A and B are shown apart, each in its own frame.
Chain A
Amino acid sequence: MSNAPASIVSRLAQSRLIWPLAGLALLLLFNLVFDRAFFDLSTRDGNLYGPIITVLRLAVKVMLLAMGMTLVIATGGVDLSVGSVMAIVGALVAFLAERAQLGFPGLLAVGLAAALIVGLFNGALVAYIGIQPIVATLIMMVLGRGVALSITGGMPVRIEDAGVLFLGRGFIAGVPVQIILVLVVFLLTALACRKTAIGLFVEAVGDNEVASRLSGVNARGIKLLTYIFCAVCAALAALVSIGDVGRVEPDRLGQMLELDAITAVVVGGTVLTGGRFTLTGSLIGALLIQTLTMTLVRQGMPSDVAPVPKALVILAVCLLQSARLRAQLAALFSKSRRAVS
């Protein structure tokens, strides 16, 4: 009897989700004690508002990017270009909406097609030409920003397309469309990974590419697929972002978000060397970072200084995820259990 709870504790201590979850729970607890208003929810015209909803909305971009980034990282790669892909898609959509009077379906199709091309380019460089992922995607990171600026001539462009604005600002049954979109993308990705063999192949390729190839896995195809998916996620993040803000600034859209996405994935428990991955963990990682930022700002910390504690929390979560530390903690739990019994 006395064994059961302890074994749950030690099993949890070994799960990769426990530390990001614990961090998130701790933050929420802090707010529960010191800042009740954090949990205030109000409805205006039947739509939900409140600090929690704001956190979710602000985290949407990183959550979307993190879905694609998780799979790329699981194959042992990384995609630095997602921020620039957002800029390209945003600029292209704004330009075509203004000049070509393209409707929402057309804009969506163009945005996704652009992402597809960029993803193909990244994936081909990595999988077929064998350039290191960090270098290959750095090329697109630099190139993409320039392309985005040249599309709009460097000027900000207003967004007036109702569809795009709905994506960023609309509500369905009181819930922001953004949040629903993230949930849908998450569920579809998780289903695609676990109900087909994609998840297995991605993990196998990330864990041992040579062995996977010799077992008949199309390792190159799998890698290509993850880079394409990652770019498509970036395109969705771009649409949400420009719809929310109502304009496109090609020099700022998506800037530095690639690093937030990578951070979310790592904090969520997927290791950068590839192999086992967790989409849920990446979502929690993105939420943890955004909740932390929000909490700090609400506690009166200037937003310029906020990155410092953010970095510390990331460090703490990563330390807690280290296999060695976890083993020691698990040993601690089993020791205290023995002492009790």
Chain B
Amino acid sequence: MSDALLQMRGISKSFRGVQALKGVDFTVRAGEIHALMGENGAGKSTLIKVLTGVHARDGGEVLLAGQPVSPRAPRDAEALGISTVYQEINLIPELSVAENIMLGRQPRRFGLIDWKALHARARSALQRLEIELDLHRSVSSCSLALQQMVAIARALDVNAKLLILDEPTSSLDEHEVAELFKVLRRLRDQGLGLVFVTHFLDQVYALSDRITVLRNGELVGEFKTAELPKLLLVGKMLGREPAATEKVGATPVTGDGGKSSGDAFLVARQLGRKGAVEPLDLEIRKGEVVGLAGLLGSGRTETARLLFGADRKTSGTLTLDGQPAALSSPAQAIGAGMAFCSEDRKSEGIIPSLSVRENIILAMQAGRGFVRLLPRGRQEELAAHYIQALRIKTPSPETPMQNLSGGNQQKVLLARWLCLQPKLIILDEPTRGIDVGAKAEIEKLVDSLRREGMSILFISSELEEVVRASQRVVVLRERRKVGELSGEQINEGRIMEMIAAHE
């Protein structure tokens, strides 16, 4: 314990009477990557916000390298050597790489910015990560992974001892994640303490040395990653027996237990959009889950938007339920029995300041037009029904959407579409950024919808999920369909081969 870089002891914090942290201990050693795990609402982000000075703690003590500290603002924390890289990359897209790294602490000479010193310091910050990057490039022209690196370089410039990464990989594809991990390991070897918050279990095992698990604001325990099997970790996060979670996670749906009647609901022939998706053929039958696999940027979301009429096609034909369809707006697609849960919940899904009830009935009301207002009683009935059926955790149907956690927001969005009783629902990354419990619930829901005869297009960057959920998998690479697997052929290895194959 003597080499502890950070020790937090007995940390407590409550908001308006709700105890978010109850006497939590958290220790990070120099030269280790420490994963902080827990479901949504476990207290991860509160703990980090206490550490970085966003929230003041109610009780407990924080020692950094043996010295008691109590930062009152993120700036204090940075000065102490505690830096944070957030999930949403906080960079200014039009400024250069160097400017972003040095923003807010530009070296000055005679009151003016000393550009030479600025570039020198930015260069040395990037060198520490051992990455090559043109300092003069605007950040918006860099890939997301590079932007993430710039954000890390920015955090590291202030002689950080402790680096906190909050969901750093949620917008990166596999290759980019590998790049990021290389950098993180390098920093660990330089003696930095790293705190890693993520929902991806595989990444925790690939990267971290130790794991601290929180649940309901309490410490469950600290474990060496090598000594904690994945199943046990999930059990500790959920507070359930491992056997039970195993059953949820591994529901076999590859058989033909549903009403997969063989009639196609959607048939696309050479459907494409210039610059977004090369012409492709696609068929989704009734009562079938078709998975769409591929790396980030492979055209998964673009395909979904094209099918839904959010973007217009430039080639090919689309048939829905045997009828030729020319969709030029989402409203038309919805009218034809389609629904689309976007991957970008925050900017394309939720209406943040409207209530849960209003968010649920929005699509249905839009379908009725503005004159025939859904009676208030019916609205409340629908909201109450879906809050119960999908187990949406909300204080009331009138709570603003922005107050809900990510998983519950996702369920509200599902409710928005399910109340239309669509014939086809497109789920684009429905489990991104939500906790393990909600993930399992959504997977179960997908399976039961399929059994009721709904067609589902399931998009996920977690292959494991695609394999589990789908009867057929369409693989995309570089905006092109490169193959299709069905039934017994579907496994992660085959899909990865197809994604990785060269022509």
Q: Enumerate chain A interface residues (CB-CB to B < 8 A).
A: 195-198, 200-201, 203-204, 207-208, 210-218, 222, 275-276
CB-CB under 8 A from B348, the residues of chain A are 210-211, 214
Complex formed: what's the CA distance from A55 to B69 in Å? 59
CB-CB under 8 A from B374, the residues of chain A are 197
Complex formed: what's the CA distance from A200 to B374 in Å? 11
B426 CB, nearest partner CB in chain A, Å: 11
| B342 contacts partner chain A, Cβ-Cβ < 8 Å | yes
A211 touching B358 by the CB < 8 A rule?
no
A216 touching B330 by the CB < 8 A rule?
yes
CB-CB under 8 A from B178, the residues of chain A are none
A341 CB, nearest partner CB in chain B, Å: 15
**Taking A195-B373, A215-B362 as contacts, is the C-beta distance between A207 and B353 under 8 angstroms?**
yes
CB-CB under 8 A from B363, the residues of chain A are 215-216
A216 touching B351 by the CB < 8 A rule?
no
CB-CB under 8 A from B29, the residues of chain A are none
Complex formed: what's the CA distance from A194 to B342 in Å? 29
B492 CB, nearest partner CB in chain A, Å: 31
B370 touching A196 by the CB < 8 A rule?
yes
**Taking A196-B371, A197-B365, A201-B370 as contacts, is the C-beta distance between A213 and B351 under 8 angstroms?**
no
Size class of the B contact interface (CB-based, 8 Å):
20 to 34
B351 touching A211 by the CB < 8 A rule?
yes
Complex formed: what's the CA distance from A222 to B365 in Å? 14
Q: Enumerate chain B interface residues (CB-CB to A < 8 A).
A: 308, 310, 329-331, 334-335, 340, 342, 347-354, 358, 362-363, 365-374, 416
| 17 A-B residue pairings within 8 Å (CB atoms) | A197-B365, A200-B354, A204-B362, A207-B351, A208-B350, A208-B351, A210-B348, A211-B349, A212-B351, A214-B342, A215-B330, A216-B334, A216-B335, A217-B362, A218-B366, A222-B370, A275-B353
Complex formed: what's the CA distance from A200 to B330 in Å? 18
CB-CB under 8 A from B369, the residues of chain A are 197
A152 CB, nearest partner CB in chain B, Å: 39
**Taking A200-B358, A200-B362, A201-B366 as contacts, is the C-beta distance between A210 and B340 under 8 angstroms?**
no
A333 CB, nearest partner CB in chain B, Å: 13
B367 CB, nearest partner CB in chain A, Å: 6
CB-CB under 8 A from A207, the residues of chain B are 351-354
B57 CB, nearest partner CB in chain A, Å: 18
Residue from B310, B329, B335 whose CB has the most chain A CB atoms within 10 Å: B329
Further contacts, 18 of them, CB under 8 A, given A203-B358, A212-B366:
A196-B370, A197-B365, A197-B371, A197-B373, A207-B352, A208-B351, A211-B342, A211-B349, A212-B351, A214-B310, A214-B340, A214-B348, A215-B366, A216-B331, A216-B366, A218-B331, A275-B354, A276-B354
CB-CB under 8 A from A210, the residues of chain B are 347-348
